[in-house]
Amino acid sequence: MWMRIAVIMLLTGPGADAAVKVEPNGFSVQEELTINVPPQKVYESLLTKVGEWWDPEHTYSGDSKNLSIEQRPGGCFCEKFPKGGGVEHMRVVYLSPYNTVVMSGALGPLQTSGLVGALTWQLSGDGTGTKLKLQYVVGGYMVGGFEKMAPGVDAMLTEQINRLKLYVETGKASAK
């Protein structure tokens, strides 16, 4: 579950990844990769099949099939709980089909701090391949600062973007 982030934070120190920038008032992480399928397939999988590729270890329910993203401005990236209730992970604030998705919110353990975050997915490419860029910018107040949390968030998002790539290229989100 989200506890994996806590373990990653303890094992990873500041500056562990050049894609992580930590400031006193927040942090940002950035990932970029190429996926060997058209942007349309990546976009559709990102939004309509999040439950297929998102790692269930990074959910509250332990089952990524409980995740969904509503494809509209104001749409919820939500998780339902099997016995009722759920959690809003983020909210879609900008949607440009096959190009850009921006979501606002604090993921996982960040939700209990005074934080706001913007997660941007940018897709570009021709009809055969997609360059996918992910950026998550988080700011606000966090007890203890951001130095320990940022590398764990980066590791989690790196895992998610790699699972998305594997899923759209092979139909499976993990090599298992």
Backbone angles phi and psi of 117, in degrees to 5: -140, 155
Q: List the 26-35 sheet strands across, edge first.
A: 20-23, 26-35, 130-141, 114-124, 100-104, 86-96, 76-80, 67-69
**For residue 165, what is the enclosing H or E element?**
helix 149-170
Task: State the Cα–Cα distance between residues 10 and 148, nearest whole angstrom.
Answer: 7
Which is nearest to 139 in space by CA: 149, 131, 129?
149
C-alpha 52: how far from chain center: 14
Contact (Cβ atoms closer than 8 angstroms) between residue 49 and residue 167: yes
Q: Tens of pLDDT along 51-65?
A: 999 999 999 999 999
Q: What pTM, to 2 d.p., does this model score?
A: 0.88
**For residue 174, what is the enclosing H or E element?**
none
3-58+93-170, CATH topology level: Alpha-D-Glucose-1,6-Bisphosphate; Chain A, domain 4 (3.30.530)
The tokens 């998780």 sit on which residue?
Answer: 79
Q: What is the pLDDT of residue 8?
A: 37
Q: Tens of pLDDT along 79-114?
A: 999 999 999 999 999 999 999 999 999 999 999 999
Q: What is the pLDDT of residue 38?
A: 96
Q: Tens of pLDDT along 20-34?
A: 999 999 999 999 999
Beta partners for residue 20, in sequence order: 29
Q: Which residue has the higher pLDDT, 118 or 7?
A: 118
Percent of the chain with pLDDT over 90: 85
How far lies 85's CA from each of 57, 68, 80, 105, in Å?
19, 14, 6, 18
Task: State the Cα–Cα distance between residues 14 and 70, nearest whole angstrom.
Answer: 35
